[in-house]
């Protein structure tokens, strides 16, 4: 049975940039045991499968797979899938240019702006992440990404969760951040101890003048050695930056993050949020999307 798929670049400032995504828009007839096999075959950070929704509020249900496991929630798969469904006419946008997708983690509203049938922008709402506490063993943390404790900036590394758990580690300089790489068993042991899916390290030194942070993300347990663009981590990173006074204070915030440079997939991610009485709300994460290709499996 032929199985149609599309390939998109998400958080992409230009073609052949951003985070690649494969989408199977008509997955209802694909055997469920094929989902993980197809995701491994595509071998992108994530592959999505679109199904009829169970909720009457949703336009479609989306299942998200890395090459090794299924995820309840992720950023660029949600944005890229929403853009594709709008661009191909599979889902009609509401008057406010949004649709609701049903993920394993729950319902997510996505705003889609179509520039044409191949390019546009997508923005998703994210829950406010919850802190699971700071971690003080800097030597072990640094060694897990092949750095030293002197490379870590003077802010406590912290765990945040928003359906996926991230360990956020601040790095003093771009030079140190560029040296970082997963240290095999040490990083796996740290993930197991902290019960997290990924490590997000960042520096406030950037490549582009318009960026506030340069980000790298490691998810070896998910089959993703380094992720080119991690949309689901932007909410947690925004809260971390606000909590540690790394943003200019105000009521409304806009953060431009760059990622993926070390793997040849430069990406631009934008996060906005609001603050009232020192409480964060209305987190939204988005970026540009480009439809790159389409094809079909013939099995």
Q: What positions carry a catalytic annotation?
A: 46
Bridge partners (DSSP) listed for residue 121: 113, 288
How far is it, in rounded angstroms, from Cα 105 to Cα 279?
Answer: 23
d(CA 169, CA 149) in angstroms, rounded, equals: 11
CA distances from 234 to 75, 146, 160, 231, 278 (A): 9, 24, 11, 5, 19
Label residue 285 exposed, middle or buried (CB < 10 Å: 0-12, 13-18, 19+): buried
Helix-, strand-, coil-residue percentages of the chain, each rounded to 5: 25, 40, 35
> In this structure, what token pair is assigned to residue 38?
């197809």
Return the closest-CA partner of residue 114 out of 142, 87, 145: 87
In the chain, where does DSSP find H-type helix? 33-42, 75-87, 138-144, 174-179, 184-194, 234-243
User: Among candidates 53, 59, 124, 118, which has minimal Cα distance to 94?
Assistant: 59
Which of 244, 230, 237 is closest to 273 using CA atoms? 237
Euclidean distance between CA atoms 86 and 175, whole angstroms: 41
Q: Which of 196, 213, 125 has its CA nearest to residue 161?
A: 196
- In this structure, the strands spanning 46-51 and 267-276 are unpaired
């Amino acid at each position: 049975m032929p199985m149609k798929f599309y390939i998109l670049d998400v958080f992409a400032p230009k073609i052949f940039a951003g985070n690649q995504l494969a989408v199977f828009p008509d997955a209802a007839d694909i055997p469920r045991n094929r989902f993980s096999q197809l995701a491994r075959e595509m071998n992108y950070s994530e592959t999505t499968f679109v199904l009829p929704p169970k909720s009457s509020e949703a336009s479609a249900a989306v299942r998200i797979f890395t090459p090794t496991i299924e995820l309840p929630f992720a950023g660029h798969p949600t944005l890229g899938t929403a853009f594709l469904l709008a661009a191909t006419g599979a889902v009609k946008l509401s008057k406010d240019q949004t649709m609701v997708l049903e993920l394993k983690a729950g319902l997510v509203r996505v705003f889609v702006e179509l520039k044409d049938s191949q390019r546009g922008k997508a923005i998703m709402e994210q829950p406010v992440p919850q802190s699971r506490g700071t971690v003080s063993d800097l030597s072990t943390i640094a060694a897990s990404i092949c750095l030293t404790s002197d490379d870590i900036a003077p802010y406590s590394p912290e765990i945040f969760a928003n359906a996926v758990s991230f360990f956020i580690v601040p790095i003093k300089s771009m030079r140190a951040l560029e040296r970082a790489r997963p240290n095999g068993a040490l990083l796996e042991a740290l993930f197991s101890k902290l019960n997290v899916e990924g490590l997000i390290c960042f520096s406030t030194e950037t490549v582009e003048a318009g960026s506030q942070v340069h980000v790298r993300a490691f998810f070896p347990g998910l089959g993703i050695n380094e992720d080119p663009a991690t949309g689901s981590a932007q909410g947690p990173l925004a809260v971390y930056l606000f909590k540690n006074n790394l943003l200019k204070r105000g009521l409304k915030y806009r953060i431009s993050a760059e990622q993926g440079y070390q793997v040849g997939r430069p990406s631009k991610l934008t996060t906005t949020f609001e603050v009232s009485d020192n409480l964060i709300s209305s987190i939204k994460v988005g970026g540009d999307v480009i439809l790159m290709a389409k094809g079909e499996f013939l099995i």
